[in-house]
Structures are given as C-alpha cells and as structure tokens.
C-alpha cells in the first residue's frame, strides 16, 4: 500500500469518474466500491467511496456534494513519451464536455484538471523562446517547442 493516496471529492459521480479514468490509462482497475450503510450519511446503497488504481497509483474518489468543486490548484500530470501519447490523452480527457485550458492544462468532463506534458518538459522550456512558445499553446506540441529552442 502506498503511503500517500490522492483523495478526490466529486459531487455525486465518483464511480463514473473512476470508471472513466480506469478506461483511459493502461494498467488500471477499480479496486473497491464502498457504499453507504444504515449509518449514512448518504442514502443506503449509494456509492460513498471508490478506490481505484491508475497505472499502479492508488486513488480514492468520494461522492461528497457540490460544496467543494475542483479547481486548478490541484491537478495530475501525465508524463508522455511522445506527441502521439500527448495527442491521445488530450483527445480522450477533453472529450464529452472536457475543455482545453492553456500550456498543456485541461479540465476533463468531471471538472478535474490535468497537465498533459512531454516527459522532458523541463528541458523543452529552459530557453525564453521555448517558454514563450509554450505560453501560446493549449495542447503542447513537442516539435514546436524543440524548434523554438533551436532558433535562439
């Protein structure tokens, strides 16, 4: 068991979110669904918690309520090997109501923020021209970032 587990608070769709995320990432699975019992506080039988793994990392999703919506202060970074992987995650995570934000950031259909970046992002934005190029992008383009670094 990992020592620290990200705990995500959803309005009422924790199970839908967990199932979606498990479908997006390889080597992922639902570990356990815990339902409210007689003691509540939710209706008996409704999903309270979903424990799931994304590529070996354990997460917990809670059906809380709309009191605490997601914002950009917390996000998950997906370190991609190449442009094809960036394109894949970008397309899947922005589908069905997700949205592009800026500089490799997006929000999925549940309102959760993700950063879809090349594994070597720190190298690709070291030069001012590369950083300026990234600041103009929504989805990151590795070739454009590399070219910006070569131009100066």
Q: What pLDDT is recorded for position 80?
A: 98
Domains identified in the chain, total number:
2
Q: Are 32 and 51 in contact (CB under 8 A)?
A: yes
CATH classification at residue 103: 3.10.180.10
> Does 89 share its domain with 145?
yes
CATH classification at residue 12: 3.30.720.100
pLDDT, tens digit, for every residue of 26-70? 999 999 999 999 998 888 999 999 999 999 999 999 998 888 999
For residue 25, the enclosing domain spans 7-63
Is 125 part of any domain?
yes
Residue 99 scores a pLDDT above 80: yes
What is the pTM (predicted TM-score) of this model?
0.93
For residue 15, give the nearest of 28, 1, 30 by alpha carbon. Answer: 30
Q: Are 109 and 98 in contact (CB under 8 A)?
A: yes
Q: What pLDDT is recorded for position 119?
A: 96
How many Cα atoms occupy the beta-carbon half-sphere of 15 within 13 Å?
A: 8
Is 116 part of any domain?
yes
DSSP 136: T
> Does 40 share its domain with 99?
no
pLDDT, tens digit, for every residue of 111-147? 999 999 999 999 999 999 999 999 999 999 999 999 9
């Amino acid at each position: 068991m990992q020592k620290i587990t990200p705990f995500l608070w959803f309005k009422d769709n924790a199970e839908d979110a967990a199932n979606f995320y498990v479908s997006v990432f390889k080597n992922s699975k639902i570990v356990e669904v815990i339902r409210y019992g007689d003691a509540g506080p939710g209706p008996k039988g409704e999903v309270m918690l979903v424990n799931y793994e994304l590529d070996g990392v354990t997460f917990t999703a809670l059906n809380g309520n709309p009191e605490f919506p997601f914002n950009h202060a917390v996000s998950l970074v997906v370190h991609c090997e190449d442009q094809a992987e960036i394109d894949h995650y970008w397309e899947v995570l922005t589908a069905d109501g997700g949205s592009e934000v800026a500089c490799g950031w997006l929000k999925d259909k549940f309102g959760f923020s993700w950063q879809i970046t090349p594994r070597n992002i720190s190298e690709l934005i070291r030069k001012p021209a590369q950083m300026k190029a990234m600041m103009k992008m929504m989805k990151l383009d590795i070739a454009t970032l590399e070219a910006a670094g070569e131009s100066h």
